[in-house]
Amino acid sequence: MAFFAKGRLIAAAGALAFCLLAWVAQAASCGKSAAGFERWKVEFTETARAAGVKGKGLAALASAKYAVRTIQADRSVNKAFSGSVDDFMRRRGGSAIISKGRSLKSSNGALFDNIEHNYGVPAGVLLAIWGMETGFGATMGNQNTVSAIVTLAYDCRRPQFFAPHAIAALKLVDGGALSAGSVGAMHGEIGHTGFLPGNVLKYGVGSRNMRDKSTALMSTANFLRAHGWRAGGGYQDNMGAIAGWNSASVYQQAIARIGEAIDGG
């Protein structure tokens, strides 16, 4: 499962706008079941329109379905990050990620050299995230992205967090980076490294097509740099940037261990 509290969506420059959006979204009453979802979508449509979502995005919102599997996954999310770092790495196949990560670093040397030159982020941490999130693209998910993120914006557990991501997903539909039929992970994460929509909108590079390997890896490097990654600083000095990606301590420590092993291999 890719999501915990991944990615600080709100940087200082955009904090006010997103806080206002989350506040406005509260006008659309949240719910704990599918019962009020269609009524909520009608209300949320006005929030989306006011935030600049246009025709394609609004149509995607109108066609979104209540994502039962997303809610089920969300209710058990904390279990995925329980236990020690060693336990977490065993569950997530840390040794296999290191082994394949080293191989991919070698076979994609020019790509990773270019990324490090442009963003100051080494291959190891990118490969650790890529392997941890989707098994290097093998499991990018089959949940409808718009339905997942809109359902979480409606759900009473964390609507203030997910409402801006829902708006971002609809804007990505308007821009062509997503469609109403796009699929991804259970919490609306997209592509090879599991970006939430708001982070795609803010940190995505080029086409923002996160199902393209190079775009996803460059965007992940861009995210880490924006969250304080210092070139040449080492992993312990850059834990804050990794924490920006995911706030679970066991995840952060696992990424650091895996990344160091890949870079040192």
Extract long-range pairs of 235-244: CB within 8 Å, 24+ residues apart: 235/125, 235/259, 235/260, 238/125, 242/125, 244/7, 244/8
pLDDT reported for residue 81: 83
pLDDT reported for residue 77: 75
E runs forming strands in 97-157: 143-144
pLDDT reported for residue 80: 75
Answer with the residue of higher pLDDT: 165 or 21: 165
The owner of tokens 């329980």 is 82
pTM, full prediction: 0.89
The stretch 122-144 carries a mean pLDDT of 97
Q: Is the pLDDT of residue 5 over 70?
A: no
pLDDT reported for residue 28: 64
Percentage of the chain surpassing pLDDT 90?
A: 85
Whether 136 and 130 have beta carbons less than 8 Å apart is answered as: yes
Dist. CA 132–CA 261, nearest whole Å: 14
What is the token pair recorded at 25? 């979204």
Dist. CA 216–CA 223, nearest whole Å: 10
Whether 163 and 153 have beta carbons less than 8 Å apart is answered as: yes
The crossing angle, in degrees rounded to 10, of helices 85-92 and 249-264 is 70
Whether 175 and 208 have beta carbons less than 8 Å apart is answered as: yes
pLDDT reported for residue 9: 45
Dist. CA 75–CA 54, nearest whole Å: 32
Tens digits of residue pLDDT in 208-258: 999 999 999 999 999 999 999 999 999 999 999 999 999 999 999 999 999
Contacts of 98 by beta carbon, 8 Å cutoff, 6+ apart = 258, 261, 262, 265
pLDDT reported for residue 125: 98
Instruction: Report CA-CA distances (Å) from 87 to 82, 91, 94, 101, 141.
Output: 8, 6, 10, 20, 24
